[in-house]
Structure 1
Amino acid sequence: MQIVTRIIAMVRARQLQRQFSQIDRTITAMPAKARARLGVMTLREIGQASKSEFPHLYGTEPGARYLPWGQGTDVGFNRAQSDNPEVALRGISLWLAVAYHETKDSPHTSVQPQHRQVLRVLRELRDASGEQVDAVAQWMRSGAAA
């Protein structure tokens, strides 16, 4: 049974890596304002997922909870491919939130690199949104806001 579990974990890690590479390219191509919005949206999604009973199954239909992994990353990935920028942002934030919770405490070494990659992107998004918040706060303190 342990061999089957390892194989399932390796397949999942490969799927997450393939999806992550596309998500990462999309995030890199975004303008700074969109990345800042994405950071705030992702933080909100992670918070919503953590309130659910099974955070790694966030975005999964209740009837599909007995699959080897949830459908949240697939739903988010499909939305991230949308031509509508708002839908794409929401899809990326959903994907990042579910991937974060799914890989967070994984005992499988094949999944741990994906968690580090997700953490890197979350840190970059946090920094991007922090810069925008600092810029707005600085603008508000200046005479330009009056």
Structure 2
Amino acid sequence: MGLLSQLIAMNRARQLSKQFRDIERTINALPKRGRSRLGALALREIGQASRSDFPHMYGTPPDERYGAWGQGTTIGFARARSENPEVALRGIALWLAVAYHETKDSPYTSLQPHYRQLTRVLRELKEAHSNDSSDSTDAWMNSPAAA
């Protein structure tokens, strides 16, 4: 059973890696103001997910919560590809929050590099947000959900 779990985790890591490349490309293409806004949205989503019973299942419809992985990254990734900029930002924030919680304490070595990549991107977004709005820097840095 352990081998099967490892194979499933490797497949999940490959899927997250592919999605992450697209998400990161979209983030890098955002203007400074968009990155700042995304930082605030991502923090909010991470905080909301952390308050749920199963943070890695955040965004998953209740009737689909019995799989190995939630649907939050799939839903967020689909929204991130939207032509509507607001929907796209919210989709990226959802994807980042769910992927963060999914990889945070993962016992699988194939998922651990994704956690490091996500924390790097979240740190960059936090810096963009703090540089853009010095008034809310204290709120961001002192927030318990900050990455």
TM-score (norm 2): 0.91
Distance in 1 between the 2:38 and 2:136 partners? Answer: 17
- In structure 1, the gaps of 5 or more residues are 138-146
Please say if residues 130 and 136 of structure 2, whose CA atoms lie closer than 8 Å, have aligned partners that are also in contact. Answer: no
Distance in 2 between the 1:6 and 1:109 partners? Answer: 9
Question: What residue is the counterpart of 2:60 in the other structure?
Answer: 60
Distance in 1 between the 2:27 and 2:48 partners? Answer: 21
Q: How many residues align?
A: 137
Residue 68 of structure 1 and its aligned partner are, at CA, apart by 1.2
Distance in 1 between the 2:53 and 2:136 partners? Answer: 36
Question: What residue is the counterpart of 1:42 in the other structure?
Answer: 42
Instruction: Tell me whether 1:105 sits opposite 2:105 in the alignment.
Output: yes
Distance in 1 between the 2:41 and 2:66 partners? Answer: 28
Residue 128 of structure 1 and its aligned partner are, at CA, apart by 0.1
Distance in 1 between the 2:83 and 2:64 partners? Answer: 28
Residue 134 of structure 1 and its aligned partner are, at CA, apart by 2.4
Deviations, residues 59-86 of structure 1 (Å, cap 9, x unaligned):
0011111111000000000000000000
1:102/1:133 Cα in 2 relative to 1: closer, same or farther (>3 Å)?
A: same
Question: What residue is the counterpart of 1:27 in the other structure?
Answer: 27
Deviations, residues 51-108 of structure 1 (Å, cap 9, x unaligned):
1000000000111111110000000000000000000000000000000000000010
Distance in 1 between the 2:22 and 2:89 partners? Answer: 13
TM-score (norm 1): 0.91
Distance in 1 between the 2:77 and 2:136 partners? Answer: 31
Distance in 2 between the 1:135 and 1:45 partners? Answer: 20
Question: What residue is the counterpart of 1:143 in the other structure?
Answer: none
Residue 19 of structure 1 and its aligned partner are, at CA, apart by 0.1
Runs of 4+ in structure 1 deviating by more than 6 angstroms, as ranges, are none
Q: Give the AA of the match of 2:111.
A: V
Instruction: Tell me whether 1:133 sits opposite 2:133 in the alignment.
Output: yes
Question: What residue is the counterpart of 2:10 in the other structure?
Answer: 10
Distance in 2 between the 1:43 and 1:78 partners? Answer: 20
Question: What residue is the counterpart of 1:141 in the other structure?
Answer: none
RMSD after superposition: 1.3
Q: Give the AA of the match of 1:57.
A: M
Question: What residue is the counterpart of 1:95 in the other structure?
Answer: 95
Which has the greater radius of gyration? Answer: 1
Q: Give the AA of the match of 1:74.
A: T
- In structure 2, the gaps of 5 or more residues are 138-147
Question: What residue is the counterpart of 1:71 in the other structure?
Answer: 71
